């Protein structure tokens, strides 16, 4: 019982520190943009274990909103415990302003999450740096900046269903399905490997270059792993 009580006290202390940090940030938003102010005013008490965090989640930590860009589960050696490695971007600073950071956490360590609204949307088309989406239930059309989807955004093609998470009315992060099917529009000459197999580089309909087995040819439809940008199989 004493151990449980101590755990409860520690949890209350952490929660009070987080609230204080948020209050401090909110107090300093008088000169910030409405986007930054809106971010800082939308904290909630959601949480999950580090082992359950995935790329696209937005953590609330030390008064900041940190978007997870990469999740890696590292296994411990011998009796050493494993840990979770996270690469993150500060939503206020951005990736190009020193906003990148990293965390190593114990798998059962609890982290706070920003309260985001997830919406499933259908890609209509991409125009420059803007992705035009539609809610297939309400037919409402939404414009989302392409950088919200990160590097996998190059696989955004018409009719692909994506998940976009919003903080209020602002899109914070976009997630593509794990796999998408794309058509090969150009196939370069196959190259023989030492083991007797062949592979070739192909260009698909979105303009991306993909390394495929040698039997893949122009006109074929292939399945792509959107996170890695790699060939999976022939559709």
Cβ atoms 69, 87 nearer than 8 A: yes
Number of domains in the chain: 3
Pick the last residue of a domain from 175, 195, 212: 175
For residue 33, list its beta bridge partners.
none
Q: Which domain holds residue 76?
A: 2-113
Domain C-terminal end among 127, 147, 175? 175
What's the CA angle centered on 177, arms 57 and 51, to 5 degrees?
35
For residues 148 and 229, membership in a common domain is answered with no
38 secondary structure, DSSP code? H
Instruction: Using alpha carbons only, give the angle 30, 130, 176 rounded to the nearest 5 degrees.
Output: 100
99-117: average pLDDT: 87
The reply to whether 19 and 103 lie within a common domain is yes
Q: Find the farthest-apart pair of alpha carbons in the chain and give their distance in angstroms, rounded.
A: 70
- Dihedral angle computed from the Cα positions of residues 44, 48, 51 and 57, in that order, rounded to the nearest 10 degrees: -30
- The string of pLDDT tens digits covering residues 5-31 is 444 334 444 444 444 444 444 444 444
pLDDT higher than threshold 80 for residue 135: yes
* 227 and 155, same domain (yes or no): no
Residue 105 maps to which CATH number?
2.30.30.30
Do 100 and 122 sit in the same domain of this protein?
no
pLDDT, one tens digit per residue, over 154-208 is 999 999 999 998 888 888 889 999 999 999 999 999 898 888 889 999 999 999 9
**CATH number (domain holding residue 150):** 2.40.50.140
Q: pTM higher than 0.95 for the full model?
A: no
Q: Give SS3 for 81.
A: coil
């Amino acid at each position: 019982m004493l151990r449980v009580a101590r755990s409860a006290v520690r949890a209350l202390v952490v929660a009070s520190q987080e609230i204080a940090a948020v209050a401090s940030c909110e107090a300093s938003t008088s000169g910030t943009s409405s986007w930054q102010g809106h971010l800082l005013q939308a904290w909630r008490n959601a949480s999950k274990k580090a082992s359950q965090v995935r790329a696209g989640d937005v953590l609330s930590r030390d008064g900041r909103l940190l978007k997870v860009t990469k999740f890696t589960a590292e296994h411990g050696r011998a009796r050493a415990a494993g840990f979770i490695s996270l690469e993150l971007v500060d939503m206020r600073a951005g990736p190009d302003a020193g906003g990148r950071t990293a965390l190593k956490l114990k798998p059962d360590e609890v982290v706070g999450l920003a309260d985001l609204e997830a919406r499933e949307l259908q890609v209509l088309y991409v125009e420059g740096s803007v992705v035009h989406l539609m809610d297939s239930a309400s037919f409402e059309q939404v414009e989302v900046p392409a950088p919200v989807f990160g590097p996998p955004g190059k696989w955004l093609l018409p009719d692909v269903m994506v998940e976009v998470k919003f903080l209020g009315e602002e899109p914070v992060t976009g997630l593509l399905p794990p796999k998408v099917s794309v058509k090969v529009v150009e196939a370069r000459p196959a190259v023989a490997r030492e083991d007797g197999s062949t592979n070739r580089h192909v260009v698909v309909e979105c303009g991306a270059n993909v390394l495929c087995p040698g039997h893949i040819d122009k006109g074929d439809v292939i399945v792509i792993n959107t996170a890695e940008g790699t060939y999976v199989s022939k559709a």
